[in-house]
Chains A and B, each alone.
Chain A
């Protein structure tokens, strides 16, 4: 794009790739955990909630450090991935996507959980009394009714992924064209003299994307509220 330098354009593309992959990878897990938290009544529930919400309050650098230990070439998961599949996670865009997925996971679960909570559980009972199994009732009734709320969660998580900095720089570093997303590019430029205009362009892009995500998720949540009412 004419108004962006090549590096800025790369950072923008990479941010979208990382954010999209993070959301797609989290979605099945966040849906399962969100549904469980919405419907499950048990004493052990608080422990699951604690584990899910921890990345929300932990300093992202701490999350990043833990991921680095886990996914380092000699780490418990990173070693196995490298030996079996030849995949290296740290200092690659996959590492950035994993960091973004972990940090945005609590936001996604929260939105999805609220979406499921708004669906009357007796509608599932009605579906089952009409011959649908537990899984069939979920796919044909609960999920379609929660769809807008689930999408709102995806948009929020995507926006959070675009802004991810602390965990990403720990796990993936700051390599132009490979792991340098928009926030990392802003960080690099702001340390260099004479790049104020570049920084402002990226700051502007960040604000526009974040605002668009908020508007979209708000719209989706309203749509969800309309959908579940009879």
Chain B
């Protein structure tokens, strides 16, 4: 059983501050809240791409960050798979080389995540020789998901992966996300401000408002029916 726990404090210029603590063992945890509530910043902190002023982050018994003890693992040593909102595929590499980028750089891959199977599940076979500029938005996001998976992550961080897609495409990409979760069981942190997406994907929801965790629980507890703004019971 994995357990992700974090407590991060960071004061930005202009008065906005993040002071958030959360702990989860759910397979898919959603970070839910309005734009500007600090969801993406927390993902960047977990990935080691942004260092908070103080705090601690651990996954299982491994400590990734502990500012009091001077521990701050570099991003490349944290074994996260980050899927960015706007995919961030490498434009000079083919789909195949994008997919294999992380796999070539990280030793000790879990045997369960094999390139052939990832390509099959995400239906990327036809795209391998193409370049990112020749892909549609949905295809780009599928490749980004495959690229992250193939780097052998212990934690998947999905930063609003559907936000840049049309309504029609969202449902299709969501189906692929569900397939990935069902097939490989990689613990996933899913950032979104869309309640129906969260209801469909997450087992556990953490609601973030103005940099603070205000509620957490199951989607049914935290998200009121047919209402996209956070509700539920206090932490």
Do the beta carbons of A122 and B84 come within 8 Å of each other? Answer: yes
Q: Are the CB atoms of B90 and A129 closer together than 8 Å?
A: no
**How near does chain B come to A157, taking the closest CB pair, in angstroms?**
24
Q: B-facing mask of A129-141, CB < 8 A → 1, else 0?
A: 1111100100011
> A132 with B105: in contact, given A125-B49, A125-B75, A227-B92 (CB under 8 Å)?
yes
A128: chain B residues at CB < 8 Å are: 48-49, 74-76
Contact B82 A129 (CB under 8 A): yes
In the complex, which range does the number of interface residues on chain A fall in?
A: 20 to 34
- In the bound complex, CA of A127 to CA of B91 (Å): 12
State the CA gap A34–B139 with chains docked (Å). Answer: 34
A-side contacts of B90, CB under 8 Å: 123, 126-127, 141, 145
Kindly state the separation between the CA atoms of A212 and B48 in the bound complex, as whole angstroms.
46
Q: Are B76 and A123 in contact (CB under 8 A)?
A: no
Q: Of all chain A residues, which has the CB nearest B131?
A: A230
- Provide the residues of chain A in CB contact with B176, threshold 8 Å: none
Q: Is the CB of A227 within 8 A of B91?
A: yes
Residues of B within 8 A of A131 (CB): 76, 102, 105-106, 151
Cβ proximity bits A183-201 to B, threshold 8 Å, 1 near / 0 not: 0000000000000000000
B-side contacts of A127, CB under 8 Å: 90, 101
Asked if A122 and B88 make an inter-chain contact with CB atoms under 8 angstroms apart, the answer reads: yes
Instruction: Enumerate chain B residues within 8 angstroms of A120, measured Cβ to Cβ.
Output: 88
B132 at the interface (CB under 8 A from A): yes
Q: B91 to chain A: which residues have CB within 8 Å?
A: 145, 227-230
Binding site for B on A (CB under 8 A): 120, 122-123, 125-133, 136, 140-141, 144-145, 227-230
Given A129-B76, A129-B81, A229-B91: 14 more A-B contacts, CB < 8 Å: A122-B84, A125-B82, A125-B88, A126-B82, A127-B101, A129-B48, A129-B49, A130-B81, A130-B106, A133-B74, A136-B105, A145-B90, A145-B91, A227-B91
